[in-house]
Structure 1
Amino acid sequence: MAQQRSDREHGWWKAPLDRFAEYLRANRGFSEHTIHAYVTDVKDCLEIIANRVDMLNDVSIDDIRGWMAVRSRTVSRSSMARKTVSVRRFFAWAYEHDLIETNPAATLRTPKIPMTLPWCFSQSQASQLMEAVHEHAEEVECQEDEVLDRDAGAHMHLDKRHKQPIPDDRSEDLARREAIALRDAAIVELLYATGIRVAELAGLDIDDIRWSDRTVRVTGKGNKQRVVPFGLPAAQAMEDWLQRGRDALCTAYSHNAVFLGARGGRIDTRIVREVVHHASEQAGVPDISPHALRHSAATHLLNGGADLREVQEMLGHASLSTTQRYTHVSIEQLKDRYRQAFPRA
């Protein structure tokens, strides 16, 4: 009994959970964010079960269901479904690697999640958002030109060696503001044009862009790569950022990243979300997340006649059923327009 108490106090589940995390990292190629989510879910389950059993091989289906009953009181059904998938995968791995004699989660069912349709912009709202980010970039550029013209004599001095004018801190600040405005316009345009995820956008390198056919190579979940096309407006916004804005933020830490943060490193996903929230506020459209731009891109593609499997490939969905949600969005929008326009609706 003393040994059992000691094992429980030190967490008998820690060693197998560490091995599971390493397996996901080395064999499945999952991102650290995904691995952390799996480990957190499984740890939550095993910590509660550890109050009833003393080793992994003793865990039963009833123990796991007991954990589900406890957690379902405090988390949403969608979160519970995700946690269940994590736990089921962990025990399947443990059984395959001979850590347990039987798999107690083999018959575990994932809680059913009621299908909710993803919200998306109308095409006019999307156009309004794109116009707003470009107008903001043009306004900042005009401000810089006005200041440089007005203060050319008062706020510039000469480099004695090269006889070249050097801008003061004020003009440098305006140049950075213009660069950020150009960057933000390119971010919003590319997210809408391609439907890529925030992490995928943040991970883009300059070499991933193919200007000849306007495509970008994206590394998605599980390190799977795909090639996604983008249109002329997004191409122009990207060129403006890379040719006229990026150098103002570039540092030794920029490396080959397409999008940079204010300090010159690769842009953080949190900043990308802030960019989209701020842009939607400026445009006077509903406040959205970058993922809503992804929803909008998919829905507008399908409304325009794109093939469902082509949209699946573009978005990087593993399952066609995930992409099919957007057909329901299109149908719901059609029904709304029908009710508004048809006299006998």
Structure 2
Amino acid sequence: MLQEQFSNYLQYEKRYSPLTLQAYAHEVEQLLQFLEQGKVEAVNFTFKEARQYFAWQVQAGKSATTVNRGISALRTYYKFLQREGAVQANPIQLIKALKTPKKLPVVVEKEKLVSLLDTMPAEDASFEEQRDKIVLELLFGTGIRLAELLHIQERDIDFYSKNIHIFGKRNKERLMPINQTLYEELKKYITAKNNLLVHTKTNFLIVTKDGKPAYAKLIYRIVQKQLSQISTQKKKSPHILRHTFATALLDNGADLNAIKELLGHAGLAATQVYTHNSAERLKSIYKQAHPKA
């Protein structure tokens, strides 16, 4: 019962995304299973036991990032239990997050990506090929998140003002400008979509060939398939195109605060990570081009 109430709290009050809801539910369920083995009630969980629990996770080989996600989720869970009067104290409150090595965002070479997009799709392309192109164009052309892409409906596109209305994390809204190429590609795609699905009513922009709303695994497959043509790096996800979008803007002199707004970041700290990518790129160019490097 409390788990269901917690889920409603996250969804309707905290306005967390479906993926975050799923991740938090997993962390709570994992803790409850652990406590069940030791015959400990969740409401009697202590700070000392919490430390032992996370130490056990580290010993089991879980990464610092994964453990920290659990700490965050369970801290929120016990904060909720406090509010509901189920516990007196939050045993996770004083648990410190583990140190994690800073990782630079993985990107693809934007020149190769632009070249790929320029060759997509062929003149006699199927609807699915046209859809795959618009998926890449949207992810790279706007830097939106996967969940945001799946949420877009045709009515969210303002062709007159050349904007897309984006619903971001925690239902925060922003207007994303679209460039001329994306504007034209969207027009062509929507025409092809409506011609194919003349007898199927759907409001979502990105759909399957049967007119059903696209889903996360489909977008992953599309991105992985296309990026495999231009990159040998192991990671090929929709989020990489978001990183590439931000890094390309920064490389071309865009203001960091403007990039923050375009990405829908709550604070500047999340955006500043891209400055490291640009600095590394400048070092690489310097080493290649300067005779004394």
2:238 counterpart residue number: 290
Residues 52/245 of structure 1: CA separation in 2 closer, same or farther (3 Å cut)? closer
Is the 1:38–1:86 contact (alpha carbons within 8 Å) kept by the matching residues of 2?
Answer: yes
Residues 137/201 of structure 1: CA separation in 2 closer, same or farther (3 Å cut)? farther
Opposite residue 288 of structure 2, the aligned amino acid is: Q
1:332 counterpart residue number: 280
Aligned to 1:37, what secondary structure does the other structure show? helix
Relative contact order: is structure 1 or structure 2 higher (C-alpha 8 Å, sep ≥ 6)? 2
Out of 139, 157, 160, the residue aligned to residue 191 of structure 1 is: 139
Opposite residue 334 of structure 1, the aligned amino acid is: L
TM-score of the two chains, using structure 1 as the length reference: 0.79
1:88 counterpart residue number: 75
1:30 counterpart residue number: 16
Q: What are the Cα deviations for residues 114-161 of structure 1, in whole angstroms up to 9, with x where unaligned? A: 11001112231121221232xx332x24xxxxxxxxxxxxxxxxxxxx
Residues 246/99 of structure 1: CA separation in 2 closer, same or farther (3 Å cut)? same
Which runs of 5 or more residues in structure 2 are unaligned? none
1:318 counterpart residue number: 266
How many residues get paired? 290
Q: What are the Cα deviations for residues 218-275 of structure 1, in whole angstroms up to 9, with x where unaligned? A: 11111211111121111111111012344214553x4211111011111112111211
Structure 1 distance, partners of 2:122, 2:82, is: 57
Aligned to 1:137, what secondary structure does the other structure show? coil
Opposite residue 215 of structure 2, the aligned amino acid is: D
TM-score of the two chains, using structure 2 as the length reference: 0.93
2:174 counterpart residue number: 226
RMSD: 1.8
1:75 counterpart residue number: 62
Instruction: Please give the residue correspondences for 1:149-168 in structure 2 after superposition, counting only pairs within 5 Å.
Output: none
Instruction: Please give the residue correspondences for 1:194-205 in structure 2 after superposition, counting only pairs within 5 Å.
Output: 194-205=142-153
Larger CA deviation: 47-56 vs 236-245: 47-56
2:89 counterpart residue number: 102
Displacement of 1:46: 2.8
Bigger CA radius of gyration: 1
Structure 2 distance, partners of 1:40, 1:24, is: 14
Provide the identity percentage. Answer: 28
Out of 211, 218, 222, the residue aligned to residue 264 of structure 1 is: 211
Is the 1:137–1:185 contact (alpha carbons within 8 Å) kept by the matching residues of 2?
Answer: no
Displacement of 1:27: 1.4
Aligned to 2:122, what secondary structure does the other structure show? helix
Structure 1 distance, partners of 2:158, 2:38, is: 57
Which runs of 5 or more residues in structure 1 are unaligned? 1-14, 142-176
